[in-house]
Structure 1
Amino acid sequence: MGSAAQWFTGANRWRLWIAGLVVVVAAGVLVIAWPDSSTKKSAPPAPVAGGRFRVTTVLDSTPAAAWTVRAADLSSEPGAVLLSVPHSLDRYYGFSSPMDAGTTIVAATAVPASVSDGTGVPVGPVRLHGLDSDTGKPRWTTDVGELTSCGERVFAGMLTCKGAHRILIIDSATGSVVTDRTTDFEVVDVQVRDGVVSVAGRTADGQSAVITRGTVADIAATWSKTYPTAVPGEPVQPRLDPPDYFRLGRDSHVQVYDLRSGEPLFTGPVGNIFDGGIIASQVIDRSGTAGTVALLGRDGHLITDVANATFMLEWYPAASAAPLPIMTGESAYDRTTGAILWTNPEIRISDVAGGKSAVQGVVRDTVIIRSQDGTTLSGLDLTDGHRIWQRPSPFEHASQFTLYDGVTDATHLILTDGVTVQAIDAADGSPVWSMSLPPNGDPRTRAQVRALAGRMVITTAQDFTGYGV
Structure 2
Amino acid sequence: MPREIRNLLCAAIAAAATTAGAVAVIAHADGDGTRKITGTVDAAPGLGWTVEARTVHGHESAQFRDPVYGSEYDWGMPGFLDLGDTAVALVGVPGGMALDDAHLVGVDADSGRIRWLSPAGDLAGCADSAVDATLVCFTPGWSDEPALVGYDLVTGEITRVPTEWGTFAIAATDDRLYVAEGSVENDDVRVHAGTLLDPDAHFTRAFDMGTGWDDTALPDALDVRHGQGLLTLGTDIAGFDLDTGDETWTAQVDGCSRVQPTLGALVVRVHVECDGLRVTGSDLLDGTGAVIAATDSAAAHSPAFDSPADDTVPVLLGDGAYDRATGDPVWSAPELVSVPREPDEYNANTRLGTVRAVLGDVALLTDHTAHTETGLDLRTGTRLWQNVPERSGTVLGHTEDLVVQSDFTGLWAMDVRTGDLEWDIPFLAVDNDPDALGDGGTLSVRPGDRYVYVSARSIIGLRPL
Correspondent of 1:268 among 241, 252, 259: 252
Per-residue CA deviations over 1:423-451 (Å, capped at 9, x if unaligned) read: 333332223332323455289x8334612
Q: Which residue of 2 aligns with 1:407?
A: 397
Q: Within 2, Cα distance between the matches of 1:146 and 1:449?
A: 23
Shift of 1:70: 0.9
* 1:200 CA drift (Å): 0.3
Q: Is the 8 A contact 1:208 1:236 kept in 2?
A: no
* 1:368 alignment partner in structure 2: 364
Give the Cα separation in 1 of the matches to 2:135 and 2:295.
36
2-structure distance, mates of 1:315, 1:414: 12
TM-score, length basis structure 2: 0.72
Q: Where do residues 93-112 of structure 1 align in structure 2 (5 Å cutoff)?
A: 96-110=78-92, 112=93
Residue 158 of structure 2 corresponds to residue 182 of structure 1: no
Deviations 1:335-372 (A, max 9, x none): 45544333212123357695443233455543332234
> Which structure is richer in relative contact order (CA contacts within 8 A, separation 6 or more)?
1
**2:426 is the alignment partner of 1:436:** yes
Q: Secondary structure at the match of 1:291?
A: strand
Q: 1:52-110 CA deviation, whole Å, 9 max, x = no partner? A: xxxxxxx96233222111124434x5567233122242345777433322332112234
1:310 Cα offset (Å):
3.6
In structure 1, what is the equivalent of residue 36 of structure 2? none
How does 1:263-412 map onto structure 2 within 5 Å?
Answer: 263=247, 265-269=249-253, 271-285=259-273, 286-316=275-305, 320=309, 324-350=313-339, 355-363=351-359, 365-373=361-369, 375-393=371-389, 395=390, 398=391, 402-412=392-402
d(CA) in 2 for partners of 1:318, 1:235: 30
Alpha-carbon distance in 1 for matches of 2:184, 2:166: 7
Match of 1:150 among 126, 132, 146: 126
- Would the alpha carbon gap of residues 419 and 168 (structure 1) be closer, same or farther in structure 2, given more than 3 Å must change? same
Mapped to 2, the partners of 1:442 and 1:374 lie a distance apart of 33
- Determine the C-alpha separation between the residues in 2 that align with 1:312 and 1:378: 15
Does structure 1 retain, via aligned residues, the 8 Å contact 2:81–2:88?
yes
Q: Distance in 1 between matches of 2:169 and 2:361?
A: 35
Shift of 1:277: 0.7
Deviation at 1:380, TM superposition (A): 1.8
2: CA distance between counterparts of 1:356 and 1:90?
36
Letter of the 2:280 counterpart: G
Residues 387 and 461 of structure 1, relative CA distance in 2, 3 Å threshold: same
Query: Is 2:81 the counterpart of 1:61?
Result: no
Measured in 1, the distance between the counterparts of 2:453 and 2:174 equals: 31
- Determine the structure 2 residue equivalent to 1:446: 439
Q: CA deviation at 1:295?
A: 0.9
Q: Which amino acid in structure 1 is aligned with residue 286 of structure 2? A: G
Provide closer, same or farther for how the CA distance between residues 409 and 215 of structure 1 changes in structure 2, counting only shifts above 3 A.
closer
Structure 1 stretch 413-422 or stretch 186-195: which is displaced more?
413-422
Residues 145 and 348 (structure 1), Cα distance of their counterparts in 2 relative to 1, 3 Å cut:
same
Answer whether contact 1:423 1:433 (CA < 8 A) is retained.
yes
Match of 2:223 in 1: 241
Separation in 2, partners of 1:263, 1:364: 31
Distance verdict in 2 for CA 1:185–1:155, change over 3 Å: closer
1:162 to 115, 138, 151: 138
Structure 1 residue 221: deviation in Å? Answer: 2.2
Unpaired runs of at least 5, structure 2: 1-40, 141-145, 341-346
Counterpart residue number, 2:181? 201
* TM-score when normalising by structure 1: 0.71
- For 2:283 and 2:184, locate their aligned partners in 1 and report how far apart those are by CA, in whole Å: 36
Tell me by how many angstroms 1:236 deviates: 8.2
81, 98, 108: which one pairs with 1:132?
A: 108
Q: Which one-letter code corresponds to 2:173 in the other structure?
A: R
**Counterpart in 2 of 1:191?**
171
Change (3 A) 1:276 1:302: same
1:294–1:305 contact (8 Å) kept in structure 2: yes
Distance 2:71 2:214 in 1: 23
1:221 maps to 201
- Residue 465 of structure 1 aligns to a residue whose secondary structure is strand
Match of 1:83, SS?
strand
What is the CA distance between 1:318 and its match in structure 2? 5.0
Letter in 2 for 1:101: L
Per the alignment, residue 459 of structure 2 pairs with: 464
Question: Residues 236 and 448 (structure 1 numbering): CA distance in 2 closer, same or farther, change over 3 Å?
Answer: closer
Query: What is the CA distance between 1:136 and its match in structure 2?
Result: 1.1
Letter in 1 for 2:115: R
Deviation of 1:291 (Å):
1.8
Amino acid at match of 2:100: V
Contact 1:330 1:344 in 2 (8 A): yes
> Residue deviations 1:363-410, cap 9 Å, x none?
5543332234363222222321101222221x2xx4xxx542333232
Q: Do the aligned residues in 2 keep the contact of 1:206 with 1:235 (CA within 8 Å)?
A: no
